[in-house]
Amino acid sequence: MNQFIKKTIKPIKPMEAPLKKNLSFITNLLQALPNLELLMLSPVLRASLAIIIIILNLYSYYHNRIRFTKYKNYIFYIMLLLFILDVAFLYLLDIIAPIVSLPKYWWILIMTIAGIFLLSINNNLIQKDDTFNPPPLSLYRKYTRKTILIVLLLLYILSYILEYFINQTYETDIDFRDQKILNYIFKSRPIGILLLIINIYLSFNFHACKYNLPDTWNL
């Protein structure tokens, strides 16, 4: 088990009754499944979730057809804010749940590679001009794009609930609620979820005619 997490379970702080009941249920379940508990507390799992979220966010942005329209800047800034929030969350995890086998600030390499990929994505403006102009073959079709977004949303929620549960339930050497910057980073996680929901809404309601794209872009 992570050296920063002790086996002693601390009393859950006062909160709404339904949430307290749910946390108690999860605690009892984990005590009955010790291997699952060890996996859940693993810094590697927690960091892996955060990295997968970054990768899927970049993939989702790459396959977002709105980035070829006049609204491309709005989509880019949403993605940029998501990227900043995701990197900040990696920084949070590196402090409260460091991976001892990796050097300090290892996440900077992830940030650099992902940042270069994000800024290298080409966003040429495409407009309807009554010619046959299908979308690039590299772009996923509608079903795959939607699936990625739904999986991404579930991972966001899972990651947020996991960190909240660990901090509420276990004695840790670092309580991010006692440190302003770390607390702000954690509280910003729901903002990322909200931005992702906006992306999901735009994706599920995408129609080429709304954005003056060729009809073939509805595929």
Which amino acid is it at 145?
R
In terms of phi and psi (left: phi > 0; alpha: psi -120 to 50; beta: otherwise), the region of 210 is alpha
Please say if the pLDDT value at position 9 is more than 50.
Answer: no
pLDDT, the chain, mean: 81
Q: What is the pLDDT of residues 161-179, one digit of tens each?
A: 888 888 777 766 666 667 8
How far is residue 195's CA from residue 66's CA, in Å, rounded to a whole number? 15
Q: What is the pLDDT of residues 96-107, one digit of tens each?
A: 888 988 998 999
Unique residue bearing structure tokens 């960190």: 163
Please say if the pLDDT value at position 49 is more than 80.
Answer: yes
Considering the entire predicted model, what is its pTM? 0.80
Supply 20's token pair.
């307290």
Spatial contact of 137 and 44, defined as CB atoms under 8 Å apart = no
- Lowest-confidence pick of 23-27, 44-48, 206-210: 23-27
The pLDDT-based confidence of 144 (bands split at 50, 70, 90) is confident
Supply 213's token pair.
């794209």
Spatial contact of 92 and 162, defined as CB atoms under 8 Å apart = no
